[in-house]
A and B are shown apart, each in its own frame.
Chain A
């Protein structure tokens, strides 16, 4: 009997505990809902308009910068007599695509969203911004950009934001990045005995040699060059850079249609004996030489591990985008220097043929933010997006807080940020290697081939690479044929766009702004179809010329 009473009392205690727990969770939920909505003042004051900005930028300074912009915006709107509360939501990049889609499909997304995903998603869920980009940004009053249209205020005239599939702007860009080499200055000085950082490839390789020797001498696991080996990102950056330094002149004669180097035309020139294929293979030699100084087992090391190794003080040089610059400089327990990718110089055996550094102007512009169609406060969201991309505020967020470059024109940089600025003191532009330009597979195989060359260090890396390239020829032709089918599918979709825009033109009043926009997009769409025709023809030419390529040592027919 006593046991039964004990059981009942025990069960009663559990029930009470459960109820308390449920009430506690309920209260916490209510608090969180209120907090996420913007606090008591926003929730219980019907005059306060609330909008949310969401993104995946968790790098140092970004959230703080956006918070500072929000504070400025709320103040500026309050001065206009408008009560506004802006919330910021930052989601880690790994979960962002899923979260973002859930938000969009759920129908209550953030009002200003960093965009990702396909053109179809953008078209379905985001507001076309073309009606607004021709207008001036009112928040630029009194700045050097005051007289420009919103589109013209961006250093690339918003080209990076154009979605060519739908001939529409669904977002605007907020920042710009370049690739730089970060240097552990303490380790560098200790190992090389000098303060002057390398500017040329010869100096860089010499310094790497000393770093390696220093590691052996002091019995430390020193890695001269830290790389993102797992995704082969660094190998791709190095190859692209030195390919351009060696072959940029091909752009002057590499296409019958204008300035640039098309894959089909370069292979045609090789087959016709007009171009020595070894020229295109020399960058392989450079990357293989640099690769001697990567860590053992570098293919298994990803970005986070490389950062960890760098912070542990055992990496001499680390190649990465400027998005990590601030955290590199701020969080490292040693002094960090920043240099440009070393230039291929006259003292290097291949340097005599090189053209120097390549311009970075007009590239690396990103951080695209758009406004979902489902926003309940479109005007306010647009106003905030304009505010965020205005000359003063964009500098406040990007330059002052993140130490990132702005996507806008007329911005000047000081201190360490001077080293981030795009290279302009050159007369050369980047050209793409034909070996990785025929599709995703060709690029993946290119990187794999380079990785193998670095690991095996063959006597003649050029022949090693060429032989392997020819072995992959059937797969590459398959990929090109599949790409042709893909373009045909795109042409069908583009005709769908043409049809929709044609109906849009019919249902809007001639001469109205809407009608003009439909007409403009209709022309953009047709101009885009010409690009697809060019791509189809280039693919066909590339297949023909690829089949004709001969063994190493043979050049042309």
Chain B
């Protein structure tokens, strides 16, 4: 059977055919399409659709976020203004409100860390208050986790706040009521900061183990985390049975990795009865 389109194209080869203009959704379908395009990081399409529904929370939210993150059409000031409006408006649906808060808070925080580039233009937003506000609006949620993650790193950086920040970190894990699967990235941060600021390997390993037991999402992190767990037990905590346990687990799970040969060497050093020592 013939393919008419192909025959047409061959017959008029060289003339070129104009591709059909982009056609988008209409009416009620625009808002979901804009959100879907934004979720797929297709900022051009998302921004275009958002402009069609400027008076809706979806349109404002997607438009504001595109202003912040679409590097080809970035307008940070406008984006932050829109998001600040959404965040402060109690009538804004909760999901758009918390996302506006996290994005506004985080971008303001990043801008303050780069005063050489942004000057004081983000000072009009109190990012700590905004991110704390997000946490109160949606405790135990993913947005709460993200806001806490960004805030705690900043507090740990400040020597005056670090002591209290470590207490807050432990309290966060203790009091967390949400889905535990959200926690591994925070455990990973806790592990790092306990070593960096205190050389407290006991607490670091505790967090690494908790994160590992729940499961890191990045397969690379899961692999290196397991090796690190065994290594820290061996070299820093001198807990040989735990080191043997996790080196063996590493060899079972990742026999083809480069670190496998090192795990074997450490197991040899630990001896056959390393687990009993």
Q: Show the binding face of A for B, using Cβ within 8 Å.
A: 26, 29-30, 33-34, 37, 43-47, 107, 123-124, 151, 155-159, 162, 164, 166-167, 251-252, 256-259, 359-363, 409, 424, 426-430, 485, 488, 491-493, 495-507, 518-524, 526-530, 533-534, 537
| Residues of B with C-beta under 8 A to A362 | 256-259
Q: Are B227 and A259 in contact, with the CB atoms below 8 A?
A: yes
Q: Are A521 and B217 in contact, with the CB atoms below 8 A?
A: yes
Q: Is B86 an interface residue (CB 8 A)?
A: no
Max chain B Cβ within 10 angstroms of own Cβ: one of A107, A157, A360, A537: A157
Q: List 12 A-B contacts (CB under 8 A).
A: A46-B1, A256-B195, A258-B231, A259-B227, A360-B258, A361-B256, A428-B262, A488-B110, A495-B110, A519-B181, A523-B218, A524-B217
Closest residue on chain A to residue B204 by CB atoms: A257
Q: Are B13 and A33 in contact, with the CB atoms below 8 A?
A: yes
Q: Is B8 an interface residue (CB 8 A)?
A: no
Q: Are A522 and B228 in contact, with the CB atoms below 8 A?
A: no
| Residues of B with C-beta under 8 A to A493 | 69, 71
Which positions 92-112 of chain B face chain A at CB distance < 8 Å? Answer: 95, 99, 102-103, 106-107, 110
| Residues of B with C-beta under 8 A to A251 | 262
List 16 other contacts, CB 8 Å, given A252-B235, A362-B259, A488-B113.
A29-B14, A43-B3, A156-B256, A156-B257, A159-B223, A162-B219, A162-B220, A258-B231, A361-B261, A362-B257, A363-B258, A492-B110, A503-B99, A519-B181, A523-B181, A537-B196
Closest residue on chain B to residue A426 by CB atoms: B261
Q: Are B218 and A528 in contact, with the CB atoms below 8 A?
A: yes
Interface string of B178-216 (1 = CB under 8 A from A): 000110110011001001100100000000000000001
Closest residue on chain B to residue A424 by CB atoms: B261
Least distance between A134 CB and chain B CB atoms (Å): 11
Q: Is B132 an interface residue (CB 8 A)?
A: no
Which 3 interchain pairs have the tightest Cβ spacing?
Answer: A496-B69, A504-B39, A427-B265
| Residues of A with C-beta under 8 A to B68 | 496, 499
| Residues of B with C-beta under 8 A to A488 | 110, 113-114
Identify which of A166, A361, A503, A504 contacts B257 (C-beta below 8 A): A361
Given known A-B contacts A502-B142, A523-B184, A361 and B102 have beta carbons under 8 A apart:
no
Tell me the bound Cα distance from A157 to B255 in angstroms. Answer: 11
Q: Count of chain B residues with Cβ under 8 Å from any Cβ of A? A: 72
Q: Is B26 an interface residue (CB 8 A)?
A: no
Q: Are B107 and A46 in contact, with the CB atoms below 8 A?
A: no
Q: Are A527 and B221 in contact, with the CB atoms below 8 A?
A: yes
Q: Is B82 an interface residue (CB 8 A)?
A: no
Which positions 217-272 of chain B face chain A at CB distance < 8 Å? Answer: 217-221, 223-224, 227-228, 231-232, 235, 254, 256-262, 264-265, 268
Which of the 9-residue segments B30-38, B120-128, B158-166, B167-175 touches chain A?
Answer: B30-38
Tell me the bound Cα distance from A361 to B68 in angstroms. Answer: 42
Q: Are B218 and A167 in contact, with the CB atoms below 8 A?
A: yes
Tell me the bound Cα distance from A477 to B254 in angstroms. Answer: 38
Tell me the bound Cα distance from A159 to B256 in angstroms. Answer: 12
Least distance between B71 CB and chain A CB atoms (Å): 8
Q: Are B218 and A507 in contact, with the CB atoms below 8 A?
A: no
| Residues of B with C-beta under 8 A to A502 | 99, 102, 142-143, 146
| Residues of B with C-beta under 8 A to A503 | 35, 38-39, 62, 65, 99
Least distance between A529 CB and chain B CB atoms (Å): 8
Q: Are B195 and A257 in contact, with the CB atoms below 8 A?
A: yes
Q: Are A155 and B13 in contact, with the CB atoms below 8 A?
A: no
Identify which of A155, A495, A522 contacts B106 (C-beta below 8 A): A495
Closest residue on chain A to residue B260 by CB atoms: A361
Q: Are A256 and B199 in contact, with the CB atoms below 8 A?
A: yes
| Residues of B with C-beta under 8 A to A519 | 142, 181
Q: Are A527 and B192 in contact, with the CB atoms below 8 A?
A: no
Identify which of A426, A429, A491 contacts B259 (C-beta below 8 A): A429
Identify which of B35, B41, B113, B182 contacts A496 (C-beta below 8 A): B41
Q: Are A485 and B14 in contact, with the CB atoms below 8 A?
A: no
Least distance between B35 CB and chain A CB atoms (Å): 5
Tell me the bound Cα distance from A492 to B107 in angstroms. Answer: 7
Least distance between A37 CB and chain B CB atoms (Å): 7
Closest residue on chain B to residue A491 by CB atoms: B110
Q: Are B188 and A530 in contact, with the CB atoms below 8 A?
A: yes
Least distance between A157 CB and chain B CB atoms (Å): 6
Given known A-B contacts A499-B102, A505-B142, A29 and B13 have beta carbons under 8 A apart:
yes
Least distance between B73 CB and chain A CB atoms (Å): 13
Closest residue on chain B to residue A157 by CB atoms: B219
